[in-house]
Amino acid sequence: MFFKSLIPSLTIILVSLSINNYVSSELPDHPIDDEDCAYMALEGECTKNADFMKESCGDKICDEWKAEYGPYDLEKINSFYDLSANDIDGNKVSFQEFRGKIVVIVNVASYCGYTEQHYKELVKLHSELEGYALEILAFPCNQFGAQEPDTPSKIKSFAKSKGVQFRMMEKVDVNGKDSHMVFKWLKNYAGPFKIDWNFATYFIIDLDGDVEEYSGITPLELKEELVMLLDQEEL
């Protein structure tokens, strides 16, 4: 009887311990580095375990997280399809129209060292998968080395000169407090904590609205993954 009377109290203690030790149980078996801190910030540890984050990672990572994500309740965005953005002509695009499609999203620039190769491969990828349920959304971005300074009309003309027939979107920020909600949500869902440069990170959204990020690759390296997802779409 005495043991049974202890069960409710023990349950409360164990639950409390599991919550307090959640972060510790998830810690890597190596000294915490910047990548670990970025991952934990995206997992919400800056609010759930602020003291631990300050001790382990310093103030910078959580200050950056709060500036970009703090004012926004991203949990109110239930899925990728709740998002929207303007195209390069200023027309609003509801992402509801991408249901039943595979979507590729990337930030681009006209005067980047990667521009020639990535636009060429994006055009080739789009051409080779034409007719499939695939959308490519290219968001111009001037955050990295001021490599996209032109007006939307000039950016559109430049992209057309490269053979672009996929959808060009509005010019946006992809990092920081002024980053577009699309990129806030994508990074919070799949990472990375920060996008490193133009053409540096590609996001693939599958038929269920799930997101995977691919950093440090070129567009044609995505083809195998896209073909696999498109084959599933046809089943």
Domain positions in the chain are 2-71, 80-234
- What is the architecture of the domain spanning 80-234? 3-Layer(aba) Sandwich (3.40)
Q: Which of 37, 46, 112, 141 is catalytic?
A: 112
Rounded to two decimals, the pTM is: 0.85
Residue 112 a catalytic site member: yes
Predicted confidence at residue 65, as pLDDT, reads 87
Gap between the Cα atoms of 65 and 56, Å rounded: 15
Predicted confidence at residue 109, as pLDDT, reads 98
The 3-state DSSP composition of the chain as helix, strand, coil percent (nearest 5) reads 50, 15, 35
In this structure, are strands 201-205 and 102-108 parallel, antiparallel, or unpaired?
Answer: antiparallel
Token pair, residue 154, equals: 């000039």
Predicted confidence at residue 27, as pLDDT, reads 59
- pLDDT less than 70: residues of the chain: 1-29, 233-235
Cα 6 to the chain's mean position, in Å?
A: 47
Gap between the Cα atoms of 65 and 74, Å rounded: 13
Burial 54-86 (b: 16+ CB within 10 A, else e): eebbeeebbebbeebbeeeeeeebeebeebebe
Measured in Å, how far apart are the chain's first and last C-alpha atoms?
59
Predicted confidence at residue 190, as pLDDT, reads 96
Predicted confidence at residue 30, as pLDDT, reads 73
Cis peptide leading into residue 149 (ω within 30°): no
